Amino acid sequence: MEVFMTKRILITGATAGIGRATLDKFYQEGFHILACDINEEEGGKLSDIYGAQVDFIELDVTNGDNWKSLQRYIHDKDYEIDVLFNNAGIFVMNDIATTTEKEYQAMFDINVKGSFLALKYIAPIMYKQENGSIINASSNAAFFGAKGLGIYGATKGAIRTLTKNAAMEFAPYIRVNSIHPGYIQTQMIEYAAQKSNKTPQDQAKYVPLKRLGRPEEIASLVYYLGSEDASYITGSEIVIDGGVSSGQSIWEEEHC
């Protein structure tokens, strides 16, 4: 199969949530996938499910030596990387005053440093190829303030800005864009619901489209940005949040 031999994506945080949905999407489209995650137990199951089309690499995105090893692995395999999805991230929901220094550092290390190291070690491979697309996972929390999202939102704002600078630095050969999901049906939304004493369905009430997003919808956006259909899009921030960041609705249902 020609596509299998020539198209390849590297995904961080690939074993669950949006990362796993993206793995599924690109698998269905015939891509060879480098699935990177710190969760060795879940990662080890991937070959049984997907076969040789998926390579699992245990990766701590905060560890530069891990990234150097991955870079050597790619070189030794003579792989080209067509798409890089920097998806790995964590979410700790706390007020700024009650966020611990350890929580602060963990969010910045995984969310921001992880994206930086991916750019540092993988983007040069793509630049040498003179082709590639990088998608950085940010959040709609990069655009507005909210109680409990202070430090998380700061990390996602940093990714938003890092993306724009990377788009300038790696042009014209690599396109770099950020995506900004809102309430998506993942473990993160379940955690946020528990922390705020709400259900995921309660969260959906704040969404103009009146439902949570599906990980598969985010995966489809990643696929689009990685494809030639998005060949003139770089340095952009794509919001996919059901309208949450558009503002508060002033219309009641009876007006519609």
**What domains appear along the chain, each with residue ranges and CATH number?**
2-184+215-243 (3.40.50.720)
* Residue 254: per-residue pLDDT: 39
For residue 184, the number of C-alpha atoms closer than 13 Å in the C-beta half-sphere is 26
pLDDT in tens, the chain (256 residues): 334 456 999 999 999 999 999 999 999 999 999 999 999 999 999 999 999 999 999 999 999 999 999 999 999 999 999 999 999 999 999 999 999 999 999 999 999 999 999 999 999 999 999 999 999 999 999 999 888 899 999 999 999 999 999 999 999 999 999 999 999 998 777 777 676 777 877 788 889 999 999 999 999 999 999 999 999 999 999 999 999 999 865 544 433 3
Residues 6 or more apart in contact with residue 225 via CB below 8 angstroms: 133, 135, 175, 177, 179, 233, 238
Is the Cα dihedral 29, 33, 37, 39 positive or negative?
positive
Closest CA to 112 of 187, 170, 184, 61: 61
* Residue 6: per-residue pLDDT: 64
The residues carrying an active-site annotation are: 152
